[in-house]
Copies of this chain bind each other. A is one copy, B any other.
Amino acid sequence: MTAATRTRELAHPERTEIRLEGVLHALSDPLRLRIVRELAGADHELACSHFALPVTKSTTTHHFRVLRESGVIRQAYRGTAKMSGLRGEDLDALFPGLLDSVLRAADAQAKRLGEP
């Protein structure tokens, strides 16, 4: 591996380093929750450019970083695209049922408030 490829590796917590408080904090923002719902619905990796969020590119990058550093998503470069996927297996192993209950709650709230 060259220095150039190493610098393009993104930092992730190991499964054992993931903390419930950090996961809940990551999920407590409307835009981050929206990203997680889209990733859960897609069931495969999505490019950051897939998400048309109503914020600047740097704010979008910030939200993805919070999700990655808390252990909610995994990100990797594939060529020029930065791809993101949920760490559902890690989260389910640590906190069984938690992610599903948050996703169900988010769906229920969106329906209740008439949001997408």
Contact B94 A109 (CB under 8 A): yes
In the complex, per-residue mask of A27-71: 1 if CB is within 8 Å of any chain B CB, else 0: 111100100000000000000000000000000000000000000
Q: Do A101 and B97 contact each other (CB < 8 Å), given the known contacts A21-B28, A28-B24? A: yes
Quote the shortest CB–CB distance from A18 to chain B (angstroms): 9
Number of interface residues of A (CB under 8 A): 25
Check: A95 CB closer than 8 A to any chain B CB: yes
A34 to chain B: closest CB distance in Å? 10
Q: How far is the CA of A104 from the CA of B20 in the complex (A)?
A: 11
User: In the bound complex, do residue A24 and residue B24 qualify as a contact, i.e. CB atoms below 8 Å apart?
Assistant: yes
**A30 in contact with B21 (CB, 8 Å):** yes
